[in-house]
Structure 1
Amino acid sequence: MRVLVVPFPWKTHLYNLVPLAWSLRTAGHEVRVAGWPDLLDAVTGAGLPGLAVGPGETPEVRGRRDRRQTSERAAAAKRAPQQGLGPLFDLRPDRERLGWEQVSRVFDDLVLPQARRSNDPMMEDLVALARSWRPDLVLWGAKAFAGAVAAAAVGAAHARVLYSVDVYARLREDFLHAQALQPPGRRPDALRDWLAGWAGRYGVEFSEELVDGQFTVAPFPEAFRPDPRPATLPVQYVPYNGPAVVPGWLAGPPRAPRVLMTFGDSVDDGPLRLLPVERVREILDAVADLEMELVLALPPQARRELREVPANTRVVESVPLPEVLPTCSAVVHHGGTWSFGGALRHGVPQLLIGRAFDAPLKFGCLERAGAGTAMSPDQADGPAVRSALLRLLTDRDLRANARRLGEETRAMPSPNDLAHTLQDVVAAHRAGRAPAVR
């Protein structure tokens, strides 16, 4: 069968799809990846055939625009109702739902603007590509709604592939619940209107499948899927982080319990975005007397600003996470897919310090599973991080829970297993039957 892979236009989201794309190729299927032009080097670097859809801009232009949009998103976040979102992250089965004003403003200020910026520029090219190549299956990364529209335009089966906990489906459910309680004629739905406008151009009627997919591929253990949904295919997280060279210091065993501290894409060529350099220095001083080997990944400029570090700290520019995490006793990170998923896979206790929109739900799932702890960047001072690290390194129950999650992760269907299941789902779709998913 022909499989079209459509990532959300960020390299990290593309990398999340690479193992499954390769599993489908090695199972004998034709696979192509359609992405913004500045993603194509990463696509071809992964050995996959790429097709450009969307604006032909250089990485430099994209970077300037993204930095501007980051500021815009921060301003939107301040306008959005940050207080009172607790029900969205409540893990209890009988949780309350968000109210109409809260949930509609989150969609209007955060979800829809990001969706339009990322999908509108590639929509027409992607539909034209789908009509020309006629894929049987479209796998679209979460928030890459253009993939759903293109699949519907040609009658292909399609699935949303998650990269994290499914906070956006939970948010959509709260929206629809609150909308149904509004008076008739006063039930605006900007996300529906946007997707219906695009779908209507290609003779497709709107359905919630354009938002959630015909089914969902979920990469984390059951503990991180708090809302059981029937149309879900689980798959174990298998890391791909791009080309990497294994550093020489990984050749032998660590001289002391190894702790990785990394903040992934929350760093740039200036100071840390998540934590200022002064705060990082405070944390390093607070843990300087602990018997451990702290591996701190920082970009060059931040390394220069940090200056001297304690004797138990090794500062590196980058690390190949699949190689270093199996050697670690703990990891401190911002909650990104690579570090979070890798720590789960290898049973490593985690301290999450982050502020992403999905962070509270991810944090809650981790703490409920007893495999780590979390704090906001504002809470992450020297004493707090020291206390959390000591717990990660010494709490036997916490460490056992982390190992258990690692075993559960590795016991999930592999991408190779899922490739065979997807073939059956597409066959059922062709026959007009409901996809055989659980």
Structure 2
Amino acid sequence: MRVLVVSAPLVGHAFPLVPLAVALRDAGDDVLLATGGGALAAADAGLPVHDVAPGFDFGRIALRVLPRHPLVARAELAGTAGTRGAGLLFGALNDQLTDPVVALADRWRPDLVLHEPFAVAGAVAAARLDVPAVRQENSLFDGRELVRATGARLGATLRRHGLTELPPPAAAIAVAPPSVAVQDGWPMRYASYVGGGELPSWLREPGERPRVLVTRSTLTGPGDRGPMPAVVAAAAQVDAEFVLVRPDGRSARSLPGNVRVVDWIPLGEALPASAALVHHGGAGSALGALAAGLPQLATVGPGDRRHNAELVARRGAGLALRPRDVTAEALTRLLTDDGLRAAAGQVSREIAAMPAPADLVPRLAALV
């Protein structure tokens, strides 16, 4: 079976698709990942990768699209736009992606197309070839809503490829633990490729004090700094060790004695020896902490970050705060609140009980 995997050209969108793609490859299927930008680093996982977005610059798309919709742009920066801002941005992105993805599919002739909700170009290619399309979730949103918001901006693109609307997928794959978010489709245990980097040996074992990992977004733009500056400012007042992962230059200046810095690391390998995760509210970070059973502090911010942080807080597995509200008191609560840790452990067990990516390979093969 030949499987074309299609993702938006963003690390946080492509990397969660890698575990299932690798499981298909290991089962003997031919797999090709169509993406671009920083997500081309998925090739380091041993997957063939094709660049369908040469010169991709998401910031350029945002600067072209959002100023035409100032009210939506303001809501998007506050994290209150729902799917409106995402529909505008990823509609414009898929308008660029669809022709290259369709052309690649015409040449490569897949038997099945697996795509994430913000890469509906994959659904168009599958419809053109009359092969099954499968939507794989990679966030805490309902993918049906994301596809509707994106597809609503693609009228001319769809007509160019002989379609009046996006056809429904042959199947969908849901990765959100049901107690946190509702998604449609076959359940699959969340996993994500985390890129290269070596894990220092000291991060493999618990330290003398509770360890808190602090990460930031892989995107850059308004609101993308997340919680790092506030954590650095408060760290000296907290009985813990803080580890900043890939800090920007400003966050790494004048660090307290209990703050250390590392470059890109396989984060999933560092979580088991840690006590908590502080992050920018990205879906991958939120799901990674839930899978590891760690309490988390997620800052509300642009795009889906408020949505993700508030879902985690509603489940009781973490705190959702504005960056300026990340104080010593909040960080101490993150480490000492038994309720947060108990809820995170419950969700971790819920995720562990979901089928592994390899378990879904026979179900996908049955669609062809």
Alignment TM class, shorter chain as reference: 0.7 to 0.9
Aligned mates of 1:164, 1:70 — CA distance in 2:
20
For the Cα contact (< 8 Å) 1:288–1:311, is it kept in 2? Answer: yes
What is the deviation of 1:276?
8.7
Of the candidates 263, 268, 289, which is equivalent to residue 322 of structure 1?
268
Matched, 1:256 2:209: yes
What pairs up with 1:193-208 in 2 under 5 angstroms? 194-207=153-166
State TM-score, norm by structure 2.
Answer: 0.87
Matched-pair identity in %: 35
CA distance in 1 between counterparts of 2:194 and 2:227 reads 26
Structure 1 position 339, deviation (Å)? 1.9
Change in Cα spacing, 1:318 to 1:77, as seen in structure 2 (3 Å) is farther
Please say if residues 293 and 345 of structure 2, whose CA atoms lie closer than 8 Å, have aligned partners that are also in contact. yes
In the comparison of the two structures, how many residue pairs are matched?
367
Say whether the 8 Å CA contact 1:332–1:352 is kept in structure 2. Answer: yes
The answer (yes or no) to whether the contact 1:272–1:302 under 8 Å persists in 2 is no
Are 1:293 and 2:241 an aligned pair? yes
Distance change >3 Å, CA 198–CA 285, structure 1 → 2: closer
Q: Relative to 1, partners in 2 of residues 1:410 and 1:130: Cα closer, same or farther, differing over 3 Å?
A: same
In 1, are the aligned partners of 2:223 and 2:301 still within 8 Å (CA)? no
Aligned to 1:79: 71
Structure 2 residue 318 is the aligned partner of structure 1 residue 358: no
Match of 2:314 among 338, 355, 368: 368
Task: Give the alignment of 1:357-396 within 5 angstroms.
Answer: 357-377=303-323, 380-381=324-325, 384-396=326-338
Distance 1:118 1:407, change over 3 A: same
Relative distance call for 1:264 and 1:125 in structure 2 (3 A) is closer
Question: How many angstroms apart in 1 are the aligned matches of 2:322 and 2:39?
Answer: 35
Preserved CA contact (<8 Å) 1:40 1:52:
no
Match of 2:253 in 1: 307
- The CA distance in 2 between the partners of 1:276 and 1:394, in whole Å, is 19
Q: Cα distance 1:53–1:388, how it changes in 2: closer, same or farther (>3 A)?
A: same
Q: 1:210-249 maps to which residues of 2 (within 5 A)? A: 213-226=169-182, 229=184, 232-249=185-202
Deviations 1:200-219 (A, max 9, x none): 3333342452xxx4432222
Q: CA deviation at 1:363?
A: 2.5
Matched, 1:31 2:31: yes
Describe the SS at the equivalent of 1:390. helix
Q: Distance in 2 between matches of 1:23 and 1:366?
A: 29
Shift of 1:365: 2.1
TM-score by length of 1: 0.74
Q: State the AA in 1 paired with 2:237.
A: D
CA distance in 2, matches of 1:325, 1:149: 38
Q: Cα RMSD over matched residues?
A: 3.2
Q: Quick one: structure 1 residues 400 and 329, their matched pair in 2 at CA, closer, same or farther if it must change by over 3 Å?
A: same
User: Are the aligned partners of 1:34 and 1:53 in contact in 2 as well (CA < 8 Å)?
Assistant: yes
Tell me how far 1:266 sits from its aligned partner. Answer: 4.6
Distance 1:322 1:125, change over 3 A: same
2: CA distance, partners of 1:338 / 1:345? 10
Q: Is the 8 A contact 2:236 2:256 kept in 1?
A: yes
| CA displacement 1:250-300 (0-9 Å, x = unmatched) | 2443111111111132558xx9843598xx1x5434331322111122445
Query: Residue 2 of structure 1 aligns with which residue?
Result: 2
Secondary structure of the corresponding residue to residue 213 of structure 2? strand
Give, in angstroms, the shift of residue 115 of structure 1: 2.4
**Residues 41 and 120 from structure 1, CA distance in 2 versus in 1: closer, same or farther, beyond 3 angstroms?**
same
Indicate the SS of the match to 2:5: strand
Give the 3 Å change call, closer, same or farther, for CA 237–165 of structure 1 in structure 2: same
Alpha carbons of 1:363 and 1:253: their partners in 2 closer, same or farther (altered >3 Å)?
Answer: closer
Structure 1, unmatched stretches of 5+, are 90-101, 176-189, 428-438
Structure with the higher fraction of residues in helix conformation: 1
**Distance across 2 between alignment mates of 1:207 and 1:307:** 49
Distance 1:4 1:222, change over 3 A: same
SS in 1 for 2:138: coil
Question: What is the SS of the residue equivalent to 2:50?
Answer: strand
* Contact 1:266-1:272 within 8 A present in 2 as well: no
Which residue pairs with 1:119 in the alignment?
94
**CA distance in 2 between partners of 1:329 and 1:338 (Å):** 18
TM-superposed deviation, 1:50:
2.2
Which is higher, the Rg of structure 1 or of structure 2? 1
Contact 1:334 1:353 in 2 (8 A): yes
Rate the CA distance shift 1:149–1:238 in 2: closer, same or farther, 3 A. Answer: same
| Whole-angstrom distance in 2 between the partners of 1:28 and 1:247 | 34
CA separation in 2, counterparts of 1:257 and 1:13? 31
Structure 1: distance between partners of 2:147 and 2:158: 19
CA contact (8 A) 1:299 1:318 kept: no
Structure 1 residue 342, shift from structure 2 partner: 1.4
Equivalent pair of 2:8/2:14 in contact (CA under 8 Å):
yes
1:409 to 313, 331, 351: 351
- Closer/same/farther in 2, CA of residues 78 and 272 from structure 1, 3 Å limit: closer
**Cα distance 1:254–1:359, how it changes in 2: closer, same or farther (>3 A)?**
same
Q: Given residue 409 of structure 1, which amino acid in structure 2 is its aligned partner?
A: I
Structure 1 359/169 Cα, relative in aligned 2: closer, same or farther at 3 Å?
A: farther
Which residue number in structure 2 is paired with residue 133 of structure 1?
108
Residue 48 of structure 2: aligned partner: 49
